[in-house]
Amino acid sequence: MNLRLLAATIMGMSLATAPVMAKDTPAPAPAKVLPTLVDIDPTHDAQNVVVLDLSNGGRVLIRLMPEWAPAHVERIKTLVGQHFYDGVKFHRVIDGFMAQTGDPTGTGEGGSTLPDLKAEFNAMPHVRGTVSMARTNEPDSANSQFFIVFYPRFSLDRKYTVFGRVIGGMDVVDRIERGEPPENPTKIVHASMGSDNVPPPAPAAAAAQPAITADQLSNSKSN
């Protein structure tokens, strides 16, 4: 075969088998980049700050991140508005791992009457203070229970929906009673949104000391 004819034949085959891209085909959309900066000032965007007053006497502030998991953030805000979390125990607290709450039955088997959520797994890491939604073995089974991570646990990444982070009171989280379940569980006394401007609970009054009688005072002087 003539070399020019052979070359033309090969070129023709290459062009014929190459994929043709239409001129008006839009380019694929770039992957959505999630914000990694978490605002630690609770006065900013206070309608996305959850305030937990705990039975151990402390207050925990959680920054909700709608950009990470909009449906889960909306669920938490809805339940807080319904006072669902008031009086609920931290029923599963593992030292060095996490503290879990959100089950009104205190057994780990309960939830709200709202439908389960579709998973919103994202790239946010489970670092100290991360707040993530608990679920069963089924991905789309999160409902009302959530957990706060004591220490980084990156093995949970992309397997549980991260929706917020503690921005205040992590020392209070550290004081949550341990156990599965704890013998004397720490409870959420009241949950509210930062925009509600609920004042912190008054510190517990010191136990009153018994009055010293005149006889006791006289005896102490004579000694």
pLDDT at position 40? 96
- Confidence tier at 157 by pLDDT (50, 70, 90): very high
**Could you tell me what percent of the chain has a pLDDT over 90?**
73
- Confidence tier at 217 by pLDDT (50, 70, 90): low
Does the residue 118 lie in any domain?
yes
pLDDT at position 202? 81
Burial class (CB in 10 A: 0-12, 13-18, 19+), 200: exposed
Does the residue 38 lie in any domain?
no
Which pLDDT tens digit goes with each residue over 121-136?
999 999 999 999 999 9
Task: Single out the residue of 47, 51, 41, 61 nearest to residue 168, CA to CA.
Answer: 61
**Could you tell me what percent of the chain has a pLDDT over 70?**
77
Instruction: Report the chain's mean pLDDT, rounded to a whole number.
Output: 86
Tell me how many domains the chain contains.
Answer: 1
Segment 101-110 shows an average pLDDT of 96
Q: Which domain holds residue 91?
A: 49-196
Of 4-18, 67-81, 109-123, 203-217, the range with the lowest mean pLDDT is: 4-18
The enclosing domain of 53 has a CATH number of 2.40.100.10
Q: Cα separation of 56 and 206, whole Å?
A: 15
Does the residue 221 lie in any domain?
no
**pLDDT beyond 50 at 183:** yes
